[in-house]
C-alpha cells in the first residue's frame, strides 16, 4: 500500500541514488504537509526502505529519516479525571464497572487485566479490597491493590454471575421436565396404538421387539 502510493506520487524508474534520495525526501515532506501522522509517515518510510533494500538499492537512510519530523501526539498523555471515570461508570453495566474501577484504582495495564485469573485475586476482608498478582511467573510479576469501591463492584460481579448460573440451571431443569412429560405422553400414545393394532411391546425401547399377541 505505501509503496504503491509512493510510486504514484514520485513515479520514476531511475536507479540513481541521488534522484531516489531526493524523491524520498520530497515524499516525506509532502506527507507531513498533508497532515498525515508521524506513525503513518514512519510506516511508509519503513515500507519503502524495505522495498529498495530488497532490490539492492542502498541509500543514505539516516539522512532521509531526518525528514520524518519529530514524533508528536495530538492527545495529552495523562490519566482520566474523576469526572471522566464517573461518566464511564454511569453507562457501564456491573461487569464493566468492575473492569473500569480495577484499572483505575490499581494502575495495571489492560493486557495485565486480560491475563489474570481467579487464582491471582485475593480478597483482604479487613481492608475490603483485592490484592492482585499480575504477570505471574514472568520477570514482570508484581502485586497491586484495588480500592474498596472497586472490590465492592468485583463482588457484585461475582454475585451476578452466580445468579445467572443458577438461573440457567433452573431453566435447564424446566426444559428437562417438559421433555420428560412429552416422552411419557408419547409412550402412552404408542402403547395405545399397539393395543388397538393387537400388538404388544416388550418395552425395552426397541421397535423390533413387537410381536403379535
Q: How confident is the model at residue 132 (pLDDT cuts 50, 70, 90)?
A: very high
Most confident listed range (1-10, 24-33, 90-99, 154-163): 24-33
Q: Residue 212: left (phi > 0), alpha (psi -120 to 50), or beta?
A: beta
Q: Give the domain-ending residue among 33, 68, 103.
A: 68
In a domain, 161, yes or no: no
9 and 31 within one domain: yes
Q: Give the domain-ending residue among 68, 92, 122.
A: 68
Give the residue numbers spanning the domain of 87.
Answer: 82-156
Residues in the chain: 213
* Residue 172 in this model has a pLDDT that exceeds 60: yes
In a domain, 149, yes or no: yes
3-state DSSP assignment of residue 126: coil
In a domain, 146, yes or no: yes
150, with CB counted inside 10 A (0-12, 13-18, 19+), is buried
121, with CB counted inside 10 A (0-12, 13-18, 19+), is middle
What mean pLDDT is predicted for residues 56-74?
A: 85
Total of domains in the chain: 2
58 and 17 within one domain: yes
pTM for the full predicted model: 0.43
In a domain, 211, yes or no: no
* Residue 36 in this model has a pLDDT that exceeds 90: no
Higher pLDDT, residue 197 or 171: 171
- pLDDT value for 91: 93
* Residue 208 in this model has a pLDDT that exceeds 50: no
In a domain, 106, yes or no: yes
- Calculate the alpha carbon distances from 123 to 61, 108, 130, 134 in Å: 55, 17, 4, 15
Q: Which helix (H) or strand (E) holds 42?
A: helix 38-54
49, with CB counted inside 10 A (0-12, 13-18, 19+), is middle
In a domain, 213, yes or no: no
* Residue 211 in this model has a pLDDT that exceeds 70: no
In a domain, 73, yes or no: no
Q: Which residue has the cell 503513518?
A: 40
Cell of 94: 456491573
- pLDDT value for 161: 67
DSSP string, 60-121: -HHHHHGGG-----SS---PPPHHHHHHHHHH--HHHHHHHHHHHHH---HHHHHH--GGGE
- Look over the chain and give the mean of its residue pLDDT values, rounded to a whole number: 82
Amino acid at each position: 500500500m505505501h509503496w504503491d502510493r509512493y510510486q504514484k506520487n514520485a513515479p520514476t524508474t531511475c536507479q540513481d541514488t541521488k534522484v531516489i534520495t531526493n524523491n524520498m525526501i520530497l515524499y516525506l515532506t509532502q506527507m507531513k504537509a498533508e497532515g498525515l501522522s508521524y506513525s503513518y509517515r514512519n510506516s511508509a518510510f519503513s515500507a519503502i526502505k524495505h522495498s529498495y533494500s530488497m532490490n539492492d538499492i542502498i541509500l543514505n537512510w539516516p539522512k532521509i529519516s531526518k525528514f520524518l519530523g519529530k514524533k508528536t501526539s495530538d492527545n495529552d498523555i495523562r490519566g482520566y479525571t474523576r469526572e471522566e471515570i464517573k461518566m464511564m461508570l454511569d453507562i457501564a453495566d456491573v461487569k464493566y464497572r468492575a473492569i473500569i474501577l480495577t484499572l483505575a484504582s490499581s494502575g495495571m495495564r489492560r493486557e495485565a487485566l486480560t491475563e489474570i485469573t481467579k487464582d491471582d485475586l485475593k480478597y483482604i476482608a479487613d481492608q475490603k479490597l483485592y490484592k492482585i498478582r499480575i504477570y505471574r511467573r514472568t520477570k514482570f510479576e508484581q502485586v497491586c491493590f484495588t480500592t474498596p469501591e472497586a472490590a465492592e463492584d468485583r463482588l457484585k460481579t461475582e454475585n451476578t454471575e452466580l445468579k445467572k448460573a443458577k438461573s440457567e440451571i433452573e431453566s435447564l431443569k424446566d426444559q428437562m421436565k417438559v421433555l420428560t412429560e412429552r416422552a411419557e405422553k408419547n409412550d402412552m400414545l404408542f402403547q395405545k396404538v399397539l393395543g388397538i393394532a393387537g400388538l404388544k411391546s416388550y418395552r425395552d425401547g426397541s421397535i423390533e421387539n413387537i410381536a403379535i399377541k
